């Protein structure tokens, strides 16, 4: 049987993994010897411990497991399917100590354990200002008022009979990576970048509802979106954007929205920071000037180095991150590793992602996996052979406007270090000789 020229190295994923503690121990012990002896190292890479075990007779192959000899469980035992018991480590997590009240907090998506570009609905990050509710759709209403010929109130049934569209888009909280402005703050990609998710959303274009109510095209310049939760979340959206690609959505990944994500109705504002994606949407008002609501006057503003604030900055600029290998993971073998990550831009499509393994001195262009969609996550992959020496892994994305993701030095020159929002700097992961990966900032 012919062997691939380079055997893929093993990785202990954080926080979940496919290796038993015994296997990890075995490899770790082997690697320490291996690092002492370059000659042994070369042959060990070619052979690999897994191959050796197969030749001796791997019990996982030779002994028939119970599932091969017994009747399996019946259909519809779980009328709504749930993940395997072996995947229980893959979950949304709250960053300990980040917020004082769990209802006004955030849970981060486990980006390190996801494939492709779609975030499973149960793992979509959550950000609530005053907790979530499971609202009865039969009692939910959407009012459209203000500078319109006729103010209207829609039931869910009214809305869901209108012509709908389905679009795949990312949503990123403006505060994503916000803890890292000053310096390294959190260990894993779940916490550095996990206020990010991507779903297929289904709903009616907001332009259809505005046409239905007859907006005053001469006077109308902005719309206000209002949520039905206790936080009175209200956000101003310029009319040209509202008429462009904004959706009033009830669908997420082929089913109704999850309560945590705004069931039964939320606004989808592609490319724009998450706070404008008002959940439990109950009102759209058409007006002629911005409202300067609390969440656009004192929060979600960018503190600049000269002490002034930028207001109404809302586009999520081009950004990327390597999700594997990433902070908290351990490379257990030298040799081949697939570097994989996500790139996105609030302005359009990802055009290119370059990857460096030496802290930004040299760059290679990664493969963009299809589909590459506008204002959606794009998955990138690149082959890499780790020779066992320390490395700094980075990805740098470019979008179809030609904008290139900045490094920390470039971003801080313009934005300083005391901001919270819109940190799209290049992320660095340090790979130590031991195989451990950690979060660092190299400039
Ligand atoms: N809408 C309402 N009504 N209440 C909220 O607290 N949080 C906003 C936005 N919409 C919020 C809201 C913020 S800050 C973000 S980042 C996104 O919802 C998060 O959406 P998600 O919880 O579906 O990930």
pLDDT of residue 28: 65
Count other Cβ atoms within 10 Å, centred on residue 14: 22
pLDDT confidence bin for 311, thresholds 50/70/90: confident
Collapsed DSSP state (helix, strand, coil) of residue 211: helix
- The alpha carbon of 230 and the centre of ligand 1 are apart by a number of angstroms equal to 12
Cα(244)–Cα(236) distance, rounded to whole angstroms? 15
Atom in ligand 1 nearest the alpha carbon of residue 274: 16
According to DSSP, residue 10 is labeled P
- What's the average model confidence in pLDDT over 401-420? 95
pLDDT in tens, 46-86: 344 445 555 678 898 999 999 999 999 999 999 999 999 98
pLDDT at 331 over 90: yes
Q: Is 229 in the pocket of ligand 1 (CB under 6 A)?
A: yes
pLDDT of residue 96: 81
pLDDT in tens, 240-285: 999 999 999 999 999 999 999 999 999 999 999 999 999 999 999 9
What are residue 143's DSSP bridge partners? Answer: 153, 283
Q: Is 344 in the pocket of ligand 1 (CB under 6 A)?
A: no
> Which one is predicted more confidently, 209 or 300?
209
Q: Is 154 in the pocket of ligand 1 (CB under 6 A)?
A: no
Q: Are 390 and 400 in contact (CB under 8 A)?
A: no
- The alpha carbon of 215 and the centre of ligand 1 are apart by a number of angstroms equal to 27
According to DSSP, residue 236 is labeled E
Atom in ligand 1 nearest the alpha carbon of residue 126: 22
Cα(149)–Cα(389) distance, rounded to whole angstroms? 68
Share of the chain above pLDDT 90, in %: 78
Q: For the chain, what is the mean pLDDT?
A: 91
pLDDT in tens, 81-110: 999 998 989 999 998 888 888 999 999 999
Residue 251 vs residues 38, 127, 309: alpha-carbon distances, Å: 56, 18, 36
Exposed, middle or buried by CB within 10 Å (0-12, 13-18, 19+), for 199?
buried
pLDDT at 149 over 70: yes
Q: Is 174 in the pocket of ligand 1 (CB under 6 A)?
A: no
pLDDT at 33 over 60: no
What are residue 315's DSSP bridge partners? Answer: 272
Atom in ligand 1 nearest the alpha carbon of residue 261: 23
Name the least confident of 4-8, 201-205, 353-357, 406-410: 4-8
pLDDT confidence bin for 1, thresholds 50/70/90: very low
Q: Is 11 in the pocket of ligand 1 (CB under 6 A)?
A: no
The whole-model pTM stands at: 0.92
Kindly tell me the number of DSSP H helices and DSSP E strands found in the chain: 10, 26
Q: Are 31 and 386 in contact (CB under 8 A)?
A: no
> Mutation test of ligand 1: which of 128, 193, 236, 258 has the most ligand atoms closer than 8 Å to its C-beta?
128
pLDDT of residue 290: 96
Cα(262)–Cα(203) distance, rounded to whole angstroms? 13
pLDDT confidence bin for 113, thresholds 50/70/90: very high
pLDDT at 40 over 60: no
Q: Is 261 in the pocket of ligand 1 (CB under 6 A)?
A: yes
**Cβ contacts of 140 within 8 Å, gap of 6 or more:** 155, 156, 228, 264, 265, 280, 282
pLDDT of residue 6: 62
> Mutation test of ligand 1: which of 279, 284, 377, 421 has the most ligand atoms closer than 8 Å to its C-beta?
279
pLDDT of residue 22: 76
Q: Are 428 and 440 in contact (CB under 8 A)?
A: yes
Name the least confident of 2-11, 152-161, 359-368: 2-11
Share of the chain above pLDDT 70, in %: 91
CA atoms lying within 13 Å on the CB side of residue 5: 1
Alpha helices for 264-417 (secondary structure H):
294-297, 408-415
Maximal CA-CA distance, the chain? 81
DSSP string, 117-154: SPPPGGGS-EE-SS------GGG-EEEEEESBSS-EEE
Atom in ligand 1 nearest the alpha carbon of residue 267: 10
- What's the average model confidence in pLDDT over 178-203? 96
Q: Which has the closest alpha carbon to 380: 439, 432, 438, 318? A: 318
Q: Is 275 in the pocket of ligand 1 (CB under 6 A)?
A: yes
Q: Is 119 in the pocket of ligand 1 (CB under 6 A)?
A: no
Q: Given phi > 0 = left and psi -120 to 50 = alpha, else beta, which region is 81?
A: beta
Give the angle 256-261-264 at the CA atoms, nearest 5°.
Answer: 45
pLDDT confidence bin for 232, thresholds 50/70/90: confident
Q: Are 197 and 274 in contact (CB under 8 A)?
A: no
pLDDT confidence bin for 44, thresholds 50/70/90: very low
Give, using CA atoms, the residue closest to atom 24 of ligand 1.
Answer: 126
């Amino acid at each position: 049987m012919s062997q691939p020229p380079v055997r893929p190295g093993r990785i202990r994923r954080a926080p979940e993994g496919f290796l038993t503690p015994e296997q990890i121990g075995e490899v770790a012990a082997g690697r320490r010897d291996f690092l002492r002896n370059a000659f042994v190292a070369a042959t060990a890479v070619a052979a690999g411990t897994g191959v050796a075990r197969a030749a001796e007779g791997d019990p996982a192959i030779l002994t028939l497991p119970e599932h091969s000899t017994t009747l399996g469980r019946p259909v519809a035992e779980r009328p709504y399917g749930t993940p395997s018991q072996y995947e229980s480590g893959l979950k949304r997590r709250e960053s300990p100590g980040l917020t004082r009240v769990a209802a006004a907090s955030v849970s981060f998506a486990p980006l390190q354990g996801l494939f492709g570009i779609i975030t499973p609905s149960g793992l979509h990050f959550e950000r609530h200002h005053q907790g979530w509710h499971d609202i009865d759709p039969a009692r939910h209403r959407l009012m459209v008022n203000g500078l319109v010929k006729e103010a209207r109130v829609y039931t869910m049934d009214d809305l869901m009979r209108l012509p709908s569209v389905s679009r795949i888009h990312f949503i990123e909280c403006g505060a994503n990576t916000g803890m890292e402005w000053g310096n390294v703050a959190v260990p894993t990609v779940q916490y550095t970048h996990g206020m990010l998710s991507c779903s297929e959303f289904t709903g009616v274009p907001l332009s259809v509802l505005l046409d239905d109510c007859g907006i005053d095209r001469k006077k109308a310049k902005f719309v206000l979106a209002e949520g039905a939760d206790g936080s009175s979340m209200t956000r101003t959206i310029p009319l040209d954007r509202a008429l462009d690609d904004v959706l009033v959505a009830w669908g997420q990944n082929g089913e109704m929205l999850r309560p945590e994500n705004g069931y039964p109705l939320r606004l989808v504002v592609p490319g724009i920071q998450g706070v404008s994606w008002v959940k439990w949407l109950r009102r759209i008002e058409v007006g002629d000037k911005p409202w300067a609501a609390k969440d656009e006057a004192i929060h979600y503003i960018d503190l600049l180095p000269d002490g002034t604030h930028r207001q109404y900055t809302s586009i999520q600029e081009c950004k990327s991150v390597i999700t594997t290998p990433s902070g908290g993971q351990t490379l257990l073998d030298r040799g081949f590793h697939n570097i994989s990550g996500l790139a996105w831009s609030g302005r359009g499509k990802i055009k290119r992602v370059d990857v460096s393994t030496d802290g930004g001195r040299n760059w290679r262009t990664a493969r963009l996996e299809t589909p590459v969609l506008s204002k959606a996550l794009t998955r990138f992959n690149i082959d890499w052979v780790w020779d066992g020496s320390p490395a700094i892994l980075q990805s740098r994305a470019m979008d179809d406007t030609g904008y290139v993701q900045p490094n920390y030095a470039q971003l801080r020159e313009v934005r300083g270090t005391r901001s919270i929002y819109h940190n799209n700097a290049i992320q660095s992961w340090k790979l130590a000789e031991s195989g451990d990966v950690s979060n660092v900032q190299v400039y």
